[in-house]
Amino acid sequence: MDFGEALHALKNGKLVRRDATAWDGTWLVLIPGSQFTIAADRPLGLAAPHLAGDGATYRPHLDLCTFCGGEATLGPWSGTDADLLAEDWIVMPDVSRTCAERGE
């Protein structure tokens, strides 16, 4: 499928990845937006203490999830032209939902 179809799948709660060896053990997950209060003892509050106690809006975005050695790692994903134009996107089987289900 192309990236447009992959994005539609993400919006419907699926996890997607490219069907390429470089993507083994990694996939994309849609992180929903939310609102929260910045806590002084959490990463944003530690990085910007003057914001502690203020409200913040966390915008929806795509994260790249890697699961290796029993630990999930997430980080923001910005697709390359090659990724966005590829037609080898696949929906991950439910067994690979470990990362999203753990809320990481």
Q: What three-state secondary structure class fits 61? A: strand
Residue 52 lies in a domain: no
Kindly state the average pLDDT of the residues 21-48. Answer: 92
Q: Is residue 23 in a domain?
A: yes
Q: Per the structure, how many domains does the chain have?
A: 1
Closest CA to 64 of 95, 35, 102, 31: 31
Structure-block tokens of residue 39: 């806590």
Q: Residue 29 sits in which domain range?
A: 3-33+62-101
Which whole-number Å values give the CA distances from 90 to 10, 17, 18, 101, in the listed order? 11, 6, 6, 19
**pLDDT value for 72:** 81
Comparison of pLDDT for 101 and 84, the residue scoring more? 84
Residue 78 domain-assigned (yes or no):
yes
Whether the per-residue pLDDT at 95 is higher than 60: the answer is no
Structural domain includes residue 42: no
Domain membership flag for residue 40: no
Residue 48 lies in a domain: no
